[in-house]
Structures are given as structure tokens and as C-alpha cells.
Amino acid sequence: MAFNFICRVLPALILLSLLSCRVQAQLLTTGFYARTCPNLQSIVSSAMAKTVANEPRMGASILRLFFHDCFVNGCDASVLLDDTPTFTGEKNAFPNQKSIRGFEVIDTIKSLVEASCNATVSCADILALAAREGVVQLGGPSWPVALGRRDSITASQAAANNHLPSPGSSLSTLISAFAAKNLSPRDMTALSGAHTIGQARCATFRSRIYSDNNINPIFAALRRLNCPSSGGDDNLAPLELQSPNLFGINYYQNLVGGGGLLHSDQELFNNGAQDSLVRQYSLNPVLFFNDFAAAMVKMGAISPLTGNNGQIRLNCRKVN
């Protein structure tokens, strides 16, 4: 009942955030393709529903892909570009190696969209819509996605290495990294709730379960079963143990109990400035859903290419 209520009231609750988005990126609007590609949203929604039904983890993967795109020179689909002999993209940047996935899903959706409205919709907009639909399919909130982004014709591995916070980040580092993108500590704490779904590699949380002191010992022992002190780097563990395929507040409840999988997760609840908000989210799914949705609107407005900047790629993996 509460979740249905959230879905009904979210558009009104985050209207101000959407208006702010349109100010920052003047040509972005939810109705951008209303005439040129009226079936766009239904195409993306249907494709993501099938994808997540087949592999629930992919909802988290596409959301992560969108985050890794937006945090590196804006939401411009630069993360989707393949390396070539003469071009170095972002896919092999350190934070992205063996981490980001879901490129084939975006390729499939792009093909479906191209069949309906050729050379019209950017890969950046498809990724933004797919990220939302993945969250919705896993029981999370919806939000209005402003559209009109264009695709970059370049990428920056150096920016990916420098701008994406690591799983070992401190709270101050996290706050600074998000502030650089005009996202507040509250936005950061809400967006971190994306870790209520998905999985992480042993290499990203090994130091957490073997070295950190602020960890629930039972939880640490459980995670060590599948993540040895050496080797097994690619072994996976759910970021949120109880319901890794359901978008909810268990992530924050785990933090309160010392059960954050990543060091950067537990930094949100470690006698610091975000403790109070984490407690609130752990008890109030409506508050978390509202804040997450509003923060996603803001993140989706980071430095988009519009107007005559960039291009509409025909293949998301390469420039035209």
C-alpha cells in the first residue's frame, strides 16, 4: 500500500527538482520525443521488464552504468564507447574494469528504438530511461526523466579514474565527490541506497571484511566464506543480504547494524554527519523513495550535451 502511494505522489513531490533540472539543462524536458518518437518510453519499459525478469541483477547494473556515465563529464553516454586502436574510452578505467556491465542491454534497446524512430533518440537518453525502469521493475520508485540529451563524441579514461568514488572512500571523500557534481550530502546518502540491489566483487570489499573494526562480526564471517584473504577477486556477494533483488530500505537497516558490505557504505553510518539520515531512511521507505527519486532527477541533469553539441549515435558503442 505504501509503495503504491509513493508511485502516485512522487511526480508532484519532486516537481521542483524537475523544474530545476530544466533550468540547468534548458532543452531537457520529459516530452522531448512526444512527436518524434512517441513510443520511446513504452519500448524501453517493455525491454527492461523482460531483461530484469530474466536477470534481476541487471536492474542494478544498468543503474550503476548510468551513475558511472553521469559522474564522468556528464550524462552523455561516453561510458558506452568501445576502445579502438586510435581511441581510449572509459570502459577500462580502473573503477569500471570488471565492474560495469549491461552494454548489450542498451544495444538491444537502441536497436528497438531505431526500428521505431531512426536517428532520433540518443544513447544517453536511452540509458537514463533504462536506469529508471530497472529500479521500477525491482520495486523501487519512479521519477520523471527529462530528455533531450545528445551523445558525446569523446570519452575520458582519466576523468573516470579521478571522478568516480572508490569502495574504500571516506565520508569526507564521498561528500566532496558528490558536491563536485552539485549533489548534496543528502543526495549522496539517498543515491547510495542504490546498493540495496546488485552485487559486488570480493576485491572491492575484502579489506572491509578483514580489516575494518566497525563491522558486525557475524556478517564479516559470513562474507569471508566466499571471499578469501587472497584470491577469489571476482567472487560475488550481494550488496544487501536479505533482498538483493528488491529495492527497499534493508540497505540502511544493515548499515545501522554494522552490515555495510563496502567500506564506503558503512562510512554513511559511522558516528558521522549522515548517521541521523541513515536512521531515518532505515525506518521510513517513503522518505527514502522520495529522496532517491529527487536525487536521480538531479543526477540526470549533470552537464548534458544539448542543441548542436554532440550527436545522436546510431550505434551506442561508436561515434557516427
> Which are the catalytic amino acids?
68
Asked if 257 contacts 216 with a C-beta cutoff of 8 angstroms, the reply is: yes
Lookup result for grid cell 543528502: 186
**Using CA atoms, how far apart are residues 266 and 84, in angstroms rounded to an integer?**
38
- Report the SS3 class of residue 17: helix
172 torsion bin: left (phi>0), alpha (psi -120 to 50), beta (else): alpha
Closest among 91, 58, 92, 59 to 77, alpha carbons compared:
91
| E strands, 80-230, in order | 199-201
**Using CA atoms, how far apart are residues 153 and 124, in angstroms rounded to an integer?**
12
> 29 pairs with which residues across the strands?
147
Asked if 236 contacts 199 with a C-beta cutoff of 8 angstroms, the reply is: yes
Asked if 161 contacts 94 with a C-beta cutoff of 8 angstroms, the reply is: yes
**Using CA atoms, how far apart are residues 200 and 14, in angstroms rounded to an integer?**
31
Closest among 174, 252, 259 to 214, alpha carbons compared:
259
Classify the C-alpha dihedral 107-111-117-118 as positive or negative: positive
Distance from first CA to last CA of the chain, Å, rounded?
47
**Using CA atoms, how far apart are residues 82 and 98, in angstroms rounded to an integer?**
15
- Report the SS3 class of residue 202: helix
Q: Residue 28: how many CA atoms within 13 Å on its side-chain side?
A: 30
Asked if 302 contacts 127 with a C-beta cutoff of 8 angstroms, the reply is: no
